């Protein structure tokens, strides 16, 4: 918007008309003081300022405006009876730009100058916009880089832990074998196997993340029985955590068209998280039913729960709730992989949780996906 400042009403009106005819938005002030009040409230692209005014002349107004933050980008065109001494212009008015036109005003020249200032203003605005975007991008990349570094250090630690156990058990195994103690050999072998399972599942998760990143996570879909899958999953979990009771509510006798191994991976992830983040609780609830042609599955625990802002990020890559990350081992990628699997099956995934009370992780999957295109 342009502000015209002139104490002669006829000048104001005629200039306003010409500028508005050329599609410029115009505001007017009939004194220096009124102009200052307006500049305090509004950011103008340009001020056309009459030099000779009573009370406060145009130069004084310009001087005062140069201190206003709202006028940092504002250019000024002085309207003066005589050519302005270069002294004032070189005095260093720090704002957008300075120029002058002698009276009587040649409208064509004025319009040319106004358009030039507008163009410069527009270019500056775009440059600033680009600069802001670049700075945001740099910040975003810095954060991503930091997260990756943190992740590498956590991942190395997580991989090292089972590996160190394997080393220890192999030494024990060696000793027991030398002594011919077959029962101890069996026991140690079992422990080695558990640690190797852990290692291989960690590595599988890491590979999944890299597949997702590269757009290479593929699904092998076929019809399978939900009930059969759930029974298997519960058996696997009960085998590794016999002290935890998984209470399955309801039964769904339906077949769904999906990648069975991947859906199993999601349910196992929900259940192992529910157990991991509920120290001391012995019951985990598994709800399943069909709603509006969708399979709805949820896992409810009465564990540590999460705050609302933490819930917003649980499906983000590498996210771990900071305050519990020291207490519980993990890589912060399990739920990210789950979200990718469910969304790529055309489903929805989510969490409801209350800090200190527990969490419910759930997904909805279309019961028959066979004819639906897989979202990319
Ligand atoms: P992690 O290997 O860290 O468990 P996940 O991707 O499975 O990675 O989970 C991300 C984070 O979400 C976890 O680090 C934890 O802070 C939080 N979280 C996941 N499941 C639960 C749960 N059942 N209760 C409370 N917090 C959970």
Condensed to tens digits (0 to 9), the pLDDT of residues 320-339 reads 998 888 899 899 999 999 99
Percentages helix, strand, coil for the chain, rounded to the nearest 5? 50, 20, 30
Q: Which of 204, 277, 339 to mutate to test the pocket of ligand 1 (most atoms within 8 A of CB)?
A: 277
pLDDT at 254: 86
Determine if ligand 1 sits within 6 Å of the CB of residue 333: yes
Element (H, E) at 27: strand 26-29
Contact 4, 14 (CB under 8 A): no
Report the pLDDT value the prediction gives residue 88, as an integer from 0 to 100: 55
Q: Which are the contacts of 114, defined by CB distance < 8 A and separation ≥ 6?
A: 2, 19, 22, 24, 46, 48, 77
Q: What is the pLDDT of residue 60?
A: 87
Cβ–Cβ under 8 Å, residues 3 and 50: no
Task: Report residue 187's pLDDT band, with 50, 70 and 90 as the boundaries.
Answer: very high
For tokens 């422990």, the residue is 191
72 band by pLDDT with thresholds 50, 70 and 90: confident
Pocket of ligand 1 contains residue 306 by CB under 6 Å: yes
Count of positions (residues) in the chain:
376
Number of H helices, E strands in the chain: 11, 12
pLDDT above 60: residue 86: no
Testing ligand 1's pocket by substitution, the residue of 335, 349, 350 carrying the most ligand atoms inside 8 A of its CB is: 335
What's the gap in Å between 254 CA and the centre of ligand 1?
Answer: 30
pLDDT score, position 326: 86
Give the span between the Cα atoms of 147 and 317, in whole angstroms.
9
Average pLDDT of the chain to the nearest whole number: 90
Report the distance separating Cα 98 and Cα 75, nearest Å: 6
Pocket residue to mutate for ligand 1, from 203, 273, 359, most atoms within 8 A of Cβ: 273
Mean pLDDT (whole number) for 24-41: 95
Nearest CA to ligand 1 atom 14: 320
Our answer on whether the CB atom of 358 is closer than 6 Å to any ligand 1 atom is no
Residues 315, 325: Cα–Cα separation, whole Å:
15
Instruction: Output the CA torsion sign for 115, 117, 120, 122.
Output: negative
**Global pTM value:** 0.68
CB 310 near ligand 1, within 6 Å: no
- State yes or no: pLDDT of 376 exceeds 60: no
- Check: CB of residue 280 under 8 Å from CB of residue 302: no
Average pLDDT estimate for 298-326 = 94
Strand bridging mode 358-366 / 348-354: antiparallel
Mean pLDDT of 183-189: 94
Residue 336 Cα to ligand 1 middle (Å): 10
Whether the CB of 339 sits within 6 Å of ligand 1? no
The C-alpha atoms of residue 338 and residue 342 are separated, in whole angstroms, by: 6
Within 10 A of 5 (CB to CB), how many other CB atoms are there? Answer: 28
Cβ atoms of 260 and 222 within 8 Å: the answer is: yes
CA nearest ligand 1 atom 19, residue:
273
Ligand 1 pocket member 274 (CB < 6 A) = yes
Locus of tokens 């705050």: 307
* 337 Cβ inside 6 Å of ligand 1: no
E strand segments, 134-244: 222-225
Residue 81's pLDDT band (boundaries 50, 70, 90)? confident
**Residue 93 confidence (pLDDT) above 60:** no
Distance of CA 126 to the CA centre of its chain: 24
DSSP state at residue 357:
T
If pLDDT is split at 50, 70 and 90, which confidence band does 375 have?
very low
What average pLDDT does the segment 250-258 reach?
Answer: 90
What confidence tier does 84 reach under pLDDT thresholds 50, 70, 90? low
Q: Name the residue of 206, 265, 332, 356 whose CB sits within 8 Å of the most ligand 1 atoms, as the mutation to test its pocket.
A: 332
Tokens of 276: 């991991």
34 neighbors 1 (Cβ within 8 angstroms): no
């Amino acid at each position: 918007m342009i502000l015209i400042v002139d104490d002669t009403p006829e000048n104001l009106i005629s200039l306003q008309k010409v500028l508005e005819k050329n599609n410029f938005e115009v505001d007017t002030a009939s004194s220096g003081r009124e102009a200052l009040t307006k500049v305090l409230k509004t950011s103008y692209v340009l001020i056309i300022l009459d030099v000779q005014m009573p009370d406060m002349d145009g130069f004084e107004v310009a001087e005062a405006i140069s201190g206003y933050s709202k006028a940092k980008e504002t250019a000024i065109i002085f309207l003066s009876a005589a050519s302005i001494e270069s002294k004032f212009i070189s005095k260093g008015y720090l704002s957008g730009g300075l120029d002058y036109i002698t009276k009587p005003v040649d409208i064509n020249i004025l319009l040319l100058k106004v358009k030039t200032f507008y163009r410069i203003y527009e270019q500056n605005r775009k440059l600033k916009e680009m600069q802001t975007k670049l700075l945001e991008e740099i910040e975003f990349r810095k954060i991503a880089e930091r997260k990756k570094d943190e992740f590498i250090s956590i991942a190395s630690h997580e991989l090292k832990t089972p590996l160190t156990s394997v080393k220890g058990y192999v030494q024990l195994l060696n000793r027991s074998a030398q002594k011919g103690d077959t029962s101890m050999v069996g026991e140690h072998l079992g422990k080695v196997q558990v640690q190797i399972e852990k290692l291989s599942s960690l590595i599988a998760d890491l590979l999944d993340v890299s597949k997702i990143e590269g757009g290479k996570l593929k699904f092998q879909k076929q019809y399978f029985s939900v009930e059969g899958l759930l029974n298997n999953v519960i058996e696997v979990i009960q085998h590794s955590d016999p002290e935890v009771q998984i209470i399955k509510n309801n039964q769904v006798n339906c077949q769904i068209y999906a990648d069975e191994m991947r859906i199993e991976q999601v349910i196992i992830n929900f259940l192992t998280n529910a157990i991991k983040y509920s120290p001391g609780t012995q019951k985990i609830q598994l709800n399943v039913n069909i709603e509006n042609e969708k399979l709805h599955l949820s896992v409810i625990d009465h564990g540590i729960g999460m705050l609302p802002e933490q819930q917003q990020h649980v499906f983000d890559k590498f996210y771990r709730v900071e305050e519990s990350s020291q207490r519980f081992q993990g890589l912060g990628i399990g739920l990210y992989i789950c979200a990718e699997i469910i969304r790529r099956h055309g489903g929805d995934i989510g969490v409801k949780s209350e800090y200190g009370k527990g969490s419910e992780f759930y997904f909805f999957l279309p019961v028959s996906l066979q004819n639906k295109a897989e979202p990319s």
